[in-house]
Amino acid sequence: MSFKITMECSARQKDSNIILALDLVSDSRSTLLSKSLALLKKAQPYICAVKINHQLVLPLGLFSGVKKILKTAQSFELPTIMDCKINDIGNTNRVIAENYYNAGFDAVIANLFVGWEEGLQPVFEVAKHMEKGVILLCYMSHKAAGEGYGQTIQQYNKPTSQYVAFAKKAIEWNADGAVVGATYPEKIKEIHEILQDKVPIYSPGIGVQGGDLQSAVRAGARYLIVGRTIFNASDPAAAARQIREEAHLRE
Ligand code: XMP
């Protein structure tokens, strides 16, 4: 089953399109692991997947601490995404993807700026071989995103936006998803018109970064990636449930 379908099944089964960004911090590694596991257990009824980034992999280690979190996510039948934004030469990219997939991640996030040949081609090859997913960055959520993703480039002697060219590559390469920041709903709409139902949009940036859930969903975001708005709440499970319900109202 492709990662795209795995996510659709999970969203249906969990009745949620919320992906928990598990980005806790702690001075103690054992506290970080126990807090992350506790948060996952509390939020799991209201989410359809878990996203982890370097904030956990660096202090906990991939095959030690993070693998325990992946096993817990699997026990709740939650797909897992590694937000590693793969961005090197192909030979290294292949090893990065293999390690994350071998640890148990179901998908990785990669940066389209490195291109296909000797860039992301090896990542897609490994993903196909291991039946895993690749999600591509089309437009990031932070303030400076436009400096790269919003540039005007020349393609076939015609000016076009970098993110439009990236969205077309996401279809061409048969990506499992495209990340577009919830902080730029107009970009979600434009990219969704290109991707339609072929490549689902994953949207981070709701809440703390200033993105509005309703605008993102109305513009075409399929999955909402949420971290601090859930885990900094006094009751993270209630916050996750509320965000899930708000997203439902707009579907
Ligand atoms: P918050 O706490 O702001 O966390 O809800 C957002 C999560 O999403 C990640 N993030 C991104 N990941 N492209 C990505 O692939 C982006 O544009 C982007 N913006 C935020 C961030 O690392 C955190 O885990």
What CA–CA distance (Å, rounded) separates 169 from 158?
17
Q: What is each CA distance from 17 to 47, 103, 158, 221, 249, in whole angstroms?
A: 7, 24, 37, 10, 12
With a 6 Å cutoff on the Cβ, whether 185 touches ligand 1 is no
Which one of 35, 85, 168, 189 is the catalytic residue? 85
pLDDT along the chain (251 residues), means of 10: 97 97 96 97 98 97 97 98 98 98 98 98 98 98 97 93 98 98 98 97 95 96 97 97 86 53
Cα of 141 to ligand 1 centre, how many Å?
A: 7
The pick from 25, 108, 141, 231 for probing ligand 1's pocket by mutation, whose C-beta has the most ligand atoms within 8 angstroms, reads 141
With a 6 Å cutoff on the Cβ, whether 83 touches ligand 1 is yes
Residue 248 pLDDT = 82
Contact 83, 56 (CB under 8 A): no
Residue 251 pLDDT = 53
Residue 250 pLDDT = 54
With a 6 Å cutoff on the Cβ, whether 227 touches ligand 1 is yes
Residue 132 pLDDT = 98
With a 6 Å cutoff on the Cβ, whether 182 touches ligand 1 is no
pTM, two decimals, is 0.97
Residue 152 pLDDT = 97
Instruction: Indicate which residue's Cα is closest to atom 13 of ligand 1.
Output: 140
Residue 20 phi/psi, 5-degree rounding, is -80, 125
Please list, residue by residue across 58-74, b when 16 or more beta carbons sit within 10 angstroms of its beta carbon and e when fewer do. ebbebeebbbebbebbe
- 85 noted as active-site residue: yes
What CA–CA distance (Å, rounded) separates 103 from 88?
20
Contact 4, 200 (CB under 8 A): yes
